[in-house]
Amino acid sequence: MGKKPPDKSHTNSGGNIMVAVKYSLEDFVQEMEELLKSEPNQEKIFDNGSSYLARLVGNPDAIPVRFRQPVGEGRRANHGSWLLHHNPDSGLLVTSVVWGPGDHAAPHDHRTWGMIGVMDNLLTETRFRRVDDHSKDDWAQLEQDRSATVKPGEVSLLIPEVDEIHQMDNFTDRPTVEVHVYGHDLRGLERVRYDLETGAIKQMITDKYDNC
């Protein structure tokens, strides 16, 4: 599930190692928008986009400090979901998601392609596949596929209807910061959450982000 960023350090003519140029959020957005403008297939989005995202999460300073912290109040004070960029024309959505200590998200789907890069700390991601015949609208049987501890600089891919159902857990004692990238604004997008114990399917709709 993880992909490491390339080493961007290089040497000058004298053989001395030079510090790599910092990659900014603006750089990432520009490259992603240019990529999507070329009308790429999903494979190209993932191949190129995951490389861009790995560079972005390799530079924590690219995201303002306030978007790298839990919201600190309300129903999900231990969590943070911050909008960084959305273009209704291309569909590109970029958010910063912060998982406080002990934070948990039950298995859910996405209904759009996605890429998730860890910027700081660790997060345990568990993937599931649906193994029932899809004949019921309110029930599903999930089978665990794999689980991994995702580290800073690593990128996970979400492939609609193929490999997109996951559970997220922060088992550490400090916040984990991620950058999420999707091909569609999650606000208003009809998705579902799965109950592993009962098999129940519940509708899930994101109505807003913590900064808008």
Residue 9 lies in a domain: no
Residue 31 lies in a domain: yes
pLDDT digits (tens, 9 = 90+) for 96-125: 999 999 999 999 999 999 999 999 999 999
CATH number at residue 35: 2.60.120.10
Domain extent, residue 146, equals: 22-204
Residue 10 lies in a domain: no
Half-sphere exposure of 75 (CA within 13 A, CB side): 2
Render 7-41 in DSSP notation, one character per residue. Answer: ---EE-TTS-EEPPPPPPHHHHHHHHHHHHHT---
pLDDT in tens, the chain (212 residues): 554 444 444 445 555 555 657 999 999 999 999 999 999 999 999 999 999 999 999 999 999 999 999 999 999 999 999 999 999 999 999 999 999 999 999 999 999 999 999 999 999 999 999 999 999 999 999 999 999 999 999 999 999 999 999 999 999 999 999 999 999 999 999 999 999 999 999 999 999 999 99
What is the count of structural domains for the chain?
1
Residue 42 lies in a domain: yes
Residue 17 lies in a domain: no
Residue 6 lies in a domain: no
Torsion of CA 145, 150, 153, 154, to 10 degrees: -10
DSSP 72: -
DSSP 198: T
Q: In angstroms, rounded to a whole number, what is the distance separating the alpha carbons of residues 45 and 142?
A: 28
How many other CB atoms are there within 10 angstroms of residue 96's CB atom?
A: 25
Residue 162 lies in a domain: yes
